[in-house]
Amino acid sequence: MTEISIKGRPSSADSTVFAVIVAVSLCHFINDVMQSLLAAIYPLLKDNYHLDFWQIGVLTLAFQGTASLLQPLIGMYTDKRPLPYSLPVGMASSLVGLIVLAYAHTYPVLIAGAMLIGLGSAIFHPESSRVARLASGGRFGLAQSLFQLGGNFGQAIGPLLAAFIVMPFGQGSISWFAVGSLVGIVVLWQVGGWYAAHLRDRSARKMPASMFPALPRAKVVTALVVLMILTFSKNIYVAALSSYYTFYAIDNFGVSVQGSQLMLFAFLAASAAGLVLGGLIGDRFGAKTVIWFSILGALPFTLALPYADLFWINVLAVLIGLILSSAFSAIVVFAQELVPGRVGLIAGIFFGLAFGFGGIGAAALGVLADYKGIEYVFWLCSFLPLLGLLTIFLPNMTGPKAS
């Protein structure tokens, strides 16, 4: 990616700048690979440092707490004072975190490495989501979908890289992934230049933050609460399926470990495809239409999954992944239109807090699975898409007027 390809059109508010969107999507991929590596190497760290499970939990808390809790705060700050070159700084924090994890000799140093990766993620998500929106040329759903697509692939590939590189070559090989971080820093420095130029151009043109009139405060608050609930329901279901799907297939159908991993990959691949599908549908028919389709539309398939045989479980999981994941970009775009000028705050809330609480929900389901069994958890989660009925409380924002 050359400097001209990113910086050549700072006044691109009227057209979609795919070079910039692809750049932040690539860096989202790199960022989420680094994130997923941490959890993927837990078995290695447990053996190397003789850790108890509660210490593994504290590592997760150090990462998730830093990444999830700081994102809304950073987003709120950058909404008022944009920091175009904070993006490479965030990537640099993750790079240092990787190196710390690779060469740590004590448990507290591991904690520090996890927190540095969390800090990098907290800096990256709000500003990169803003960049994707600025580069969208009005195709907000497509831009957010492509941006999130990079992150989803990063989350899926991270464990594979850990399995085939870190496990055979040891903890020190984590530092090899710093090469990807260096690439991300270079790319994000160029994106920062485009971002700064675009902000100057946008300020000169005095463009509105939203294409819709402002809604009453009470209606905005209600809509944001509904969107948060829908996001929690989606994230908890997807996190539960991602965490326990392989165990369910092995225990119930005698599937091999390799076979269960292929089943999980099919679900994750369908989820990635659903992101792009949701963005395209949202730009054409409106974000609210996609949310209706995604959250509530998955309900028949989630209800059927606990009773399906092996063949139909594979089919249903793919359909669920495709449909449920289509909602995320629409939810983010909808929320950003509800609160114009607060793109960073909204991105921080939905990328940070929402995912963090989704992870907590999945952990709680794990405790429940210990007592009631995986089958009970899958049956209980099958009702989560019913919360999609709350979409009725969202205002209509598909035209120049919002009701």
Q: How confident is the model at residue 161 (pLDDT cuts 50, 70, 90)?
A: confident
Q: Tell me the residue range of the domain where 118 lies.
A: 12-205
Q: Domain with 297 in it: what CATH number?
A: 1.20.1250.20
pLDDT in the model for residue 239: 74
Does 298 reside within a domain?
yes
**Domain identity same for 249 and 184:** no
Query: Of the residues 185, 205, 225, which one is the last residue of a structural domain?
Result: 205
Does 47 reside within a domain?
yes
Does 253 reside within a domain?
yes
> For residue range 365-394, what is the model confidence (pLDDT) as tens digits?
777 877 888 888 889 989 999 988 888 888
* Total structural domains within the chain: 2
**Domain identity same for 161 and 23:** yes
DSSP 168-220: HH-GGGGGGGHHHHHHHHHHHHHHHHHHHHHHHHHHHHT--S-SSPPPPHHHH
**Domain identity same for 333 and 372:** yes
Asked if pLDDT for residue 206 goes beyond 60, the answer is no
> For residue range 82-127, what is the model confidence (pLDDT) as tens digits?
888 999 999 999 999 999 999 998 999 999 999 999 899 899 988 8
Does 137 reside within a domain?
yes
Cα separation, 26 vs 67, in Å, equals 19
Does 401 reside within a domain?
no
When computed from its CA atoms, the radius of gyration of the chain, rounded to whole angstroms, is 21
Does 331 reside within a domain?
yes
Non-local (6+) Cβ contacts of 274 within 8 A are 294, 321, 322, 323, 324, 325, 326
Cα separation, 266 vs 50, in Å, equals 34
Asked if pLDDT for residue 335 goes beyond 80, the answer is yes
Non-local (6+) Cβ contacts of 100 within 8 A are 109, 110, 112, 113, 116
**Domain identity same for 221 and 200:** no
Cα separation, 304 vs 301, in Å, equals 5
**Domain identity same for 170 and 223:** no
Does 402 reside within a domain?
no
**Domain identity same for 194 and 255:** no
